[in-house]
Amino acid sequence: MMCLATLDIASAYGVRSPPFIILARFWHTNSMLSEKNCKKLKKDFGESADLLVREAEIGGRKAYFCAIEGLLDKELLEEHVIKPLAAIESYSLGEVKNRVYLTAPVRTATTLAEAEEEIATGTVALLVEGERVILLFSVKKWERRSVEEPPTSSVIKGPREGFTEDVTVNAALLRRRLKSKSLVIRERRIGKYTGTKVLVCYLSDVADGATVDLVNERLGEIEIDGVIDSSYLTKFLEDDPASLFPQVGSYEKPDVVAAKLLEGRVAILSDGSPIALTVPHLLIESFQDSQDYFKRNSRVTVTRFLRLFGAIIALFLPAAFVAVQEYQYQVLPLKFLITIINSTNGTPLSPTLEMLLVLIIFDILNEASVRMPRYVGMALSIVGAIVLGETAVSAGLLSSPAVLVTALSSIGLYLVPDDVGTYSLLRLLFVATAALLGLLGILFAVMILFAHLVTIRSFGSDYLSPYAPMIGADLKDGFVKKELPKMVKRPQGIANRNPTRIGKGVAQADEGEAENE
């Protein structure tokens, strides 16, 4: 039983050689070795509809091309693999490597299992009768998003390129900025079913060897079905996964990651994710922005303090409002107290329940605006912020000061966008503490929070560095930013091999590295 389409490719290209025949047919049970391998390969892939297995004749030998449809460049395969192989009169591995162009490099696999892993990634495998090795041709191609500005990291000044979902493109974006042999990119596969390509990137003469080893050790210990996004790796990399605070940085721009590598950090890129991870990660990084290094230092310093002030308002303003209303109302000026009393008079809920209700409503609106279609999100914001809020206040269900305090707190959250989820949960905890113990409860909660923060370490670095412990040299890039020429040394709070990054010390360090090698 044969079905069947025969195509003489050799004659089509004017090559005088045995015809290059492509057949689609049922397999005989008394087959040769490669044919049995093809049958097993089809069985291992579950007779998938997108698995292509085509029979051919190359140099007088029967051969089989195996690939996944949709993951290969058919034009590249035909021009740089099929056409050269059709001209072979006597098959040999050396002749194949000589014939195939550099655009489709030839690799080999010694086992069928190894070949199956490569096929699943888009590689074309060639099984030839009588050969012990399987030839692999890299002619991959699939739809990918172009390099563009990330929607969550837009800038007014500075580079606008952002990472994509293709890890190879992301590695190239880093290589374009760090044109040095010191940039090391190590590859590993993680995920039983996804086999996700993960790249560990660092500067060999800057990054601390112990940090690199620890990253590789933790990645090597991951046993998981699949890695869909780089965030899957975060909990396996963090020193304290139970903490509310992130200990692994996440960035969408290659210029930011390149700057982190220059400070001695290690970056992790995951295929299928436009977000790169960096370690170690410090709390101060949440208050920094890539645009800070392209603006005047005076403006950057003011902006960083505004972000700190916004975080303080987001965390403590709702709790302080509840504590003052419930316990310490005498601390308010008389006129201000009278205004609040008049605004809250007739409200059916207690200050604590009212504040918790408003905070929860704002969080619900925020989550709904993210999940709703983009063209509906604006309408939802108007309905939630104006109609719902104004109606609730007019009906006397909520007081206007509570809505105002919650709005200010919610705006303050987004001055530190990477920690919105953390601060949103913490402010609820602070409100609950203030309802129980008043301002004294807030003070105790702050002490517990700082006690937790000083115990967090990220790959050997103190989370509150450079303020706890105090590192004077690193304060030049803290909340008060100094000029770049004054930042002669790399951050001491992050372990690195070469502390000097500006001046003669850079050249001296490079010469020392060369001598050691």
Q: Which of 344, 338, 346 has the alpha carbon at shortest distance from 405?
A: 344
Same domain for 80 and 185, yes or no, is no
User: Residue 176, class by beta-carbon neighbours within 10 Å (0-12 exposed, 13-18 middle, 19+ buried)?
Assistant: exposed
CA distance 490 to 208: 12
Residues 434 and 386 in one domain: yes
Residues 275 and 313 in one domain: no
**Which of 461, 496, 512 is the C-terminal boundary of a domain?**
461
Q: Would you tell me how many other CB atoms lie within 10 Å of the CB of residue 395?
A: 8
> What is the value of pTM for the model shown?
0.79
pLDDT score, position 77: 79
For residues 310 and 446, state if they share a domain. yes
Q: Is residue 260 in some structural domain?
A: yes
pLDDT at 514: 40
Domain boundary among 221, 248, 281: 281
Tokens 């290094």 -> residue: 293
Q: Are residues 246 and 323 in the same domain?
A: no
> Looking at the domain assignment, is residue 148 inside a domain?
no
300 and 247 assigned to the same domain? no
Domain C-terminal end among 281, 307, 322: 281
Residue 170 contacts residue 147 (beta carbons within 8 Å): no
395 assigned to some structural domain: yes
Instruction: Look up the domain containing 327 and give its range.
Output: 295-461
Residues 326 and 396 grouped into a single domain: yes
Alpha helices in 1-103 (DSSP H): 9-12, 33-44, 74-77, 83-86, 93-99
What is the three-class DSSP state of 456? coil
Residues pairing with 457 in the sheet: 462
Say if residue 311 is in the same domain as residue 266.
no
Same domain, 68 and 201: no
Q: What is the pLDDT of residue 4?
A: 29
Can you give the pLDDT at residue 202? Answer: 94
Same domain, 336 and 260: no
**Residues found in the chain:** 517
The answer to the question of residue 501 being in a domain is no
| Residue 149 within any structural domain of the chain | no
Q: Give a yes or no: residue 145 inside a domain.
A: no
Residues 189 and 233 in one domain: yes
Whether 45 is in a domain gets the answer yes
Which pLDDT tens digits describe the chain residue by residue (517 residues)?
333 233 333 333 343 333 333 333 333 333 345 777 788 888 888 778 778 888 888 877 888 888 888 787 777 777 778 777 877 777 777 777 777 765 566 788 888 888 888 888 888 888 888 777 888 888 877 667 778 888 777 777 878 888 998 898 899 999 999 988 989 999 999 998 888 999 999 999 999 999 999 999 999 999 999 899 899 999 899 998 889 999 999 999 999 999 999 999 999 999 989 999 999 999 999 998 888 888 888 899 999 999 999 999 999 999 998 998 888 777 777 777 777 777 777 777 888 888 898 888 888 877 777 777 766 656 666 666 666 767 677 767 778 888 888 888 988 888 888 888 899 999 999 999 999 988 899 999 999 999 999 999 999 899 999 998 898 888 888 899 888 888 888 888 898 888 888 776 554 444 444 444 3
Q: What are phi and psi of 477, to 5 degrees?
A: -125, 35
Split into its structural domains, the chain has a count of 3
**Contact, 491 vs 474, CB < 8 A?**
yes
Instruction: Specify whether 307 is located in the same domain as 452.
Output: yes
Query: Is 409 among the domain residues?
Result: yes
